[in-house]
Structure 1
Amino acid sequence: MNKYETVFILTPVLSDEQTKETVAKFKKVLADKGAEIVNEEAWGLKKLAYQIEKKTSGFYFLIEFNAEPAVIKTLETAYRRDEKVIRFQTVKLDKYAAEYAEKRRSKLGKKEEA
């Protein structure tokens, strides 16, 4: 199994409940295909660098997971089919990126405890 990280941006006009449902739907896609979700982060509403579909902001989410390569195609198809997703990107983490992600997670964990 490979380590992956996916970031997706949702349209800013969604309610809190709608964003949670959408994120849960993508997590279910991963779980149904046997992926192990390692970490998830809601980065919140952020301003976009440039307009996308006449929108200047969006809700950013990050999910780190372990999965087989075939899962990525299914996940990205789900992103493309959902009109709430403005943009997405999924990358395979090499050993250095995986180490960095783990350090970042541990730093976030320490901040939340304090």
Structure 2
Amino acid sequence: MLNQYETVFIATPVLSEAQFKELVNKFRGVITENGGELVHEEDWGLRKLAYPIQKKSTGFYHLIEFKAPGELINTLETQYRRDERIIRFLTFRMDKYAVEYSIKKRANKQEKKLEE
């Protein structure tokens, strides 16, 4: 059975846009190559950090929502730790309420886009 997960990572702000896209593709690949299925993605862009991390005050944020077997999480987080460009990450398993909330949030975003 596949669980649904959400992972957010923060990449160092010194990356160019092309380097950041390559980094995102790397982690997409880790998920899909290990039996995962991408559900949704959001690029939050360059944001200010709440507190300095490794003497950096900003970072590129990216969210990936996916379905995967539990064993994939160890592989994914190992890849995060090995990559020097990642300064923070968080992965959690979504319960049914979190999944419903995420679906509603995406639907509301779509409605707002259509209204504009």
Provide the TM-score with structure 2 as the length reference: 0.95
- 1:67-110 Cα shifts (integer Å, max 9, x gaps): 00000000000100100000000000001111111111112222
1:24 matches 2:25: yes
Aligned to 1:45: 46
Identity, in percent, stands at 57
Shift of 1:112: 3.2
Aligned to 1:12: 13
Which residues of structure 1 form unaligned runs of 5+? none
SS for the counterpart of 1:34 is: coil
Provide the TM-score with structure 1 as the length reference: 0.97
SS for the counterpart of 2:84 is: coil
Aligned to 2:107: 106
SS for the counterpart of 1:14 is: coil
SS for the counterpart of 1:24 is: helix
CA distance in 1, matches of 2:113, 2:64: 18
CA distance in 2, matches of 1:48, 1:59: 10
Which residues of structure 2 form unaligned runs of 5+? none
CA distance in 2, matches of 1:77, 1:84: 13
Write the mapping of 1:25-104 to structure 2, written as runs, cut at 5 A: 25-104=26-105
Count how many residue pairs are aligned between Structure 1 and Structure 2. Answer: 114
Letter in structure 1 aligned against 2:47? K
